[in-house]
Structure 1
Amino acid sequence: MADNTPVQPNGQATQAQLALQKIYVRDASFEAPNAPRIFQEIGESQQAPQVQLNLSHKADQLADGVFEVVLTLTLTCTLQDRTVYLAEVHQAGIFGVAGFADAERDAILGSYCPNVLFPYARQMISELVVNGGFPPFLLQPINFDALYSEQLRRRAEAPAANA
């Protein structure tokens, strides 16, 4: 089996480096399209509002060994097919990731970086919902390691399904 350890031009192994350079909100939005009537409807309804979370992330290379990772959380709350609110946050970070083999780098960008960004995105979602006049919503922790493993498993199965 070949060793995939990155090597410098002088033949020495490159020391792996991982550095968080910046965390920022790339985009945030909140909509309550049926306000103010929806506040009364929630109080009168016998049903609890339904909440759906959509989660995604992407990583783009900005420079050699520098990546922007964007974690997107979209929270949609509905009551009897009417939108109560929609909150969306694009939480971003710039990470220096150098000296790792490709598979290790991909795992860092697909698991470690979203784990770092998630608490910031969760706080932002919570603030948007409360500032919109609704009861607090606390997102439960997410296991990005398991999500990344599942993504790898699906990629491995995709070629087999096409054969």
Structure 2
Amino acid sequence: MADQDTSSSEPLANGADNAPTIGMISQYVKDLSFESPNAPAIFQSETPPQIEVEFGIGAAQVGEDVHEVTLKIEVKARSAEQVAFIVELSFAGLFGVRNVSLDALQPFMLGEAPRLLFPFARRVLADAIRDGGFPPLMLDPIDFGALYLQQKEAQESGAIAGAAGNA
């Protein structure tokens, strides 16, 4: 009996590769706004500013195998009842996606992709705040995967409670 060689050193024909694949194509600042409405008076304030940070994540399919994930971060700093600064950043990434089920795609787009984008968005924010005359703000790392799972669990328990209330 002849041995059959099942491995092939030849590349697969275009489109014949059906393994799930996700890769970052590019990342970019989509929108950046910095305001310091009470400058220069705010620089004379002796009270340290109180910082508020809000996050948002958006995902959209922008091509046949291309998805855009946008990480939106808004930072507001107040000192002595005055606004020290407001920074709004939309930092996005394009991801090539092939042969990935919708069930696997959503956790990646709303959990893993923001984790990949966050360090770069954090640097852009820190630089914008520093360039505005304030000490750079270094945001702590965020576990976007855990946040995604918490939101999904809350939505599922809300849907179950809603269904039970309608019975």
Q: Give the shorter-chain TM-score range.
A: 0.7 to 0.9
- CA offset at residue 160 of structure 1? 2.3
- CA offset at residue 68 of structure 1? 0.6
What does residue 31 of structure 2 align with? 27
- CA offset at residue 131 of structure 1? 0.3
What does residue 122 of structure 1 align with? 122
Letter in 1 for 2:25: Q
Letter in 2 for 1:28: L
State how far apart, in whole Å, the 2-side matches of 1:39 and 1:145 are.
Answer: 38
Alignment of 1:99 with 2:99, yes or no, is yes
- CA offset at residue 161 of structure 1? 3.1
State how far apart, in whole Å, the 2-side matches of 1:148 and 1:66 are.
Answer: 21
Mark the structure with the bigger radius of gyration. 2
* Percent sequence identity over aligned pairs: 32
Letter in 1 for 2:104: E
Task: Give the paired residue count.
Answer: 148
RMSD: 1.5
Q: 1:63 to 1:113 in 2, by over 3 A?
A: same
- CA offset at residue 64 of structure 1? 2.0
Where 1:100 maps in the other structure, the secondary structure is coil
- CA offset at residue 108 of structure 1? 0.7
TM, length-normalised to structure 1:
0.86
State how far apart, in whole Å, the 1-side matches of 2:27 and 2:90 are.
Answer: 11
What does residue 38 of structure 1 align with? 42
Letter in 1 for 2:29: V
State how far apart, in whole Å, the 2-side matches of 1:50 and 1:35 are.
Answer: 16
Letter in 2 for 1:35: A
Where 2:149 maps in the other structure, the secondary structure is helix
State how far apart, in whole Å, the 2-side matches of 1:159 and 1:140 are.
Answer: 32
Letter in 1 for 2:30: R
TM, length-normalised to structure 2:
0.84
Alignment of 1:69 with 2:73, yes or no, is no
- CA offset at residue 102 of structure 1? 1.3
Structure 1: gaps (5+ residues): 1-11
Q: 1:15 pairs with 12, 19, 29, which one?
A: 19
State how far apart, in whole Å, the 1-side matches of 2:160 and 2:17 are.
Answer: 36
- CA offset at residue 100 of structure 1? 1.5
Where 1:149 maps in the other structure, the secondary structure is helix
